[in-house]
Structure 1
Amino acid sequence: MATLRDIKRKIGSVNSTQTITRTMKMVSASKLRRAQTDLEKIKDYAVKMEELTGRVVKNMPADAHPLLATREEIKKVLIVSIGSDRGLCGGFNTNVALTAENFSRQNRDTYERVGIYVFGRKIRDYLAKRKMDVIKSWVDIKNVDQELVDAVAGEIIELYLTGEFDKVYLSYTYFASPVKQEIVFEEFIPIKTPEDVEYIDYICEPDRMEIVGSLIPRYISTKIYYALVESQTSEHAARMSAMENATNNCGEMVRYLTLVYNKRRQEGITNEMMDIVGGAEALRGT
């Protein structure tokens, strides 16, 4: 049975933990506001870029560009999974890693190879422990800038064009709200035009094929940039929610331990009073 000193020490420890989690929640809330600002800047551009690309490439022959052609036989598939380097953000990283792991295991007999291109130390370590085929990992990314995105887009395009992989999927966390984030798993390359996209016969200058040749790589880099920013925003939101839950749990634990402490103290006082009364009665009887 824990003594009063042990309970009091535990209350102090939980209070210290609560202070840390409350501070981390405030830090995450501040980072989330900045991340939302960055997301708002890129979101409209990314949506318009996707719409424009869909309209321009619609009704074009599949051989107009190598990134538009669907290969007859899909043997090797690449998953681009975007997570984070840090933990303490609930199931943020685990959900993305599980999506890649489940797809790989479920399609083990369908494809010859399922490779995973990883962003984030947590996802890399999770998949490496489970013997998944991690072909490359990006860790310790301080800032998402155009240079980084262009390098990543160039590598992924090269992997597809050289025949290393026949299809590419993109997996990241979509920021729906500060309390809701959703996993996105979608086909990335080859580029597919949605059926509901309206075809517009643009007057092109220079030639339409030349425009498509420069537009598609730009679309791919924009999509990766957008997915990275979405993921970062979702990470801060998930960490803020996790730290808020941890802070509330610490408060409940402190209330429970305080109740236990008071009961034990009252029991001790009662026992002492009974000993005194019993001793007094014994003396009176003699």
Structure 2
Amino acid sequence: MASLKEVRNRITSVNSTMQITKAMKMVAAAKLRRAQDAILQMRPYANKLNELIATVSANTEVGAQSPYTAVRPVDKVLLIVVTSDRGLCGGFNSNIIKATQALINDKYASQQKAGNVTIKALGKKGLEAFSKRGFAVNKNHSEIFLKLSFEEARKAAEEAMEAFKVGVYDEVVLVFNEFKNVATQIIRTETMLPLTADVDENAAVSNTDYIFEPSEEEIILDLMPKAIKMHLYKAVLESNASEHGARMTAMDKATENGGELLKDLKIQYNRSRQAAITKEILEIVGGAEALKDS
């Protein structure tokens, strides 16, 4: 049985840890509120833009002229994997890494065997994990969460768009966590390039007859790059909100587990203390009996 000093030290350590996890939970909750507001405001705009692009592309031939709609045999692939910069958020990062590995094994095994799969890691945890596993990793914009903004996401998207345009990659795929609620994040795998006429399953493509001004070609070819950049920015915002939700849940669970451990330690401490008192009483009684007999 552990000594009273050891148990007291453990109780002190658990109390200190619980104070840290409580503080981290409150910080995550504050950040989550801002991140949640950002993604909820972004979704309607991004979904409507995708619907507009899909509708116009389905009804016109101009979209096929864009270099971002070119469908080629998939020999070289870029996977944009969105993780976080920090841990202590449960399975948030490990789930994304596992999902990416499974995607490569299931869909891009031949490309990976030929060395034609590149990981563009947005977030330090993804960068570290895939670098250790020997993948070809693009380190540009891996610190996007240090200064999260549309400008940073735009730069990352433009780099991928230019690489696709000149044929460095035949397909660009996004892997990220979609925010559902504080306790739930959904792993999404979406094709960013080539741009297709697919939209959200809840948004049907209409047969609206548009009047274009200044011209059909100028408007469509200008909207397509914006839609691609918005696609990446939305994924980053989804991941950011998911991270804070996952961290808040993880810290809440850690605090709860700390409370349970503290209860067990206090019971153990009281038992050890009672055993020590009983031992001392027995020694006193034994000594008294020995003196009486003498």
Could you say whether these structures have the same fold, taking a TM-score greater than 0.5 normalized by the shorter chain as the test? yes
Q: In 2, Cα distance between the equivalents of 1:255 and 1:55? A: 61
Matched, 1:258 2:266: yes
Alignment correspondent of 1:282: 290
Matched, 1:204 2:208: no
Residue type at the aligned position of 1:272: E
Match of 1:239 among 247, 255, 267: 247
Match of 1:167 among 168, 171, 186: 171
Alignment correspondent of 1:58: 58
Matched, 1:15 2:15: yes
SS in 2 for 1:138: coil
Match of 2:278 among 236, 254, 270: 270
Q: Deviations over 1:23-47 (max 9, x none)?
A: 0100110111111121222121111
Greater Cα offset, 266-275 or 16-25: 266-275
Q: In 1, Cα distance between the equivalents of 2:111 and 2:38? A: 39
Alignment correspondent of 1:185: 189
Q: In 2, Cα distance between the equivalents of 1:128 and 1:89? A: 21
Contact 1:8–1:261 (8 Å) recurs in 2:
yes
Change (3 A) 1:77 1:139: closer
Q: In 1, Cα distance between the equivalents of 2:228 and 2:111? A: 26
Alignment correspondent of 1:135: 138
Residue type at the aligned position of 1:241: T
Q: In 1, Cα distance between the equivalents of 2:138 and 2:198? A: 30
Q: In 1, Cα distance between the equivalents of 2:60 and 2:139? A: 33
Contact 2:76–2:111 (8 Å) recurs in 1:
no
Matched, 1:67 2:68: yes
Greater Cα offset, 212-221 or 131-140: 131-140
Q: In 2, Cα distance between the equivalents of 1:201 and 1:191? A: 22
SS in 2 for 1:164: coil
Q: Deviations over 1:95-148 (max 9, x none)?
A: 112222222234222564111111011110011000112123423333332322
Q: Aligned residue pairs: how many?
A: 285
Q: In 2, Cα distance between the equivalents of 1:152 and 1:173? A: 18
Stretches of structure 2 that go unaligned for 5 or more consecutive residues are none
Stretches of structure 1 that go unaligned for 5 or more consecutive residues are none
Contact 1:101–1:132 (8 Å) recurs in 2:
no
User: What TM-score do the two structures reach when normalised by structure 2?
Assistant: 0.91
Q: In 2, Cα distance between the equivalents of 1:201 and 1:156? A: 32
Greater Cα offset, 11-20 or 272-281: 272-281
SS in 1 for 2:147: coil
Q: In 2, Cα distance between the equivalents of 1:258 and 1:124? A: 42
Q: Deviations over 1:133-167 (max 9, x none)?
A: 21234233333323222211211111101111101
Q: In 1, Cα distance between the equivalents of 2:60 and 2:111? A: 30
Offset at residue 200 of structure 1 (A): 2.1
Contact 2:7–2:265 (8 Å) recurs in 1:
yes
Matched, 1:2 2:2: yes
Contact 2:92–2:243 (8 Å) recurs in 1:
yes
Matched, 1:25 2:25: yes
Greater Cα offset, 41-50 or 54-63: 54-63
Contact 1:144–1:225 (8 Å) recurs in 2:
no
Offset at residue 52 of structure 1 (A): 0.9
Greater Cα offset, 50-59 or 217-226: 50-59
Indicate the percent of aligned positions where both proteins have the same amino acid: 39
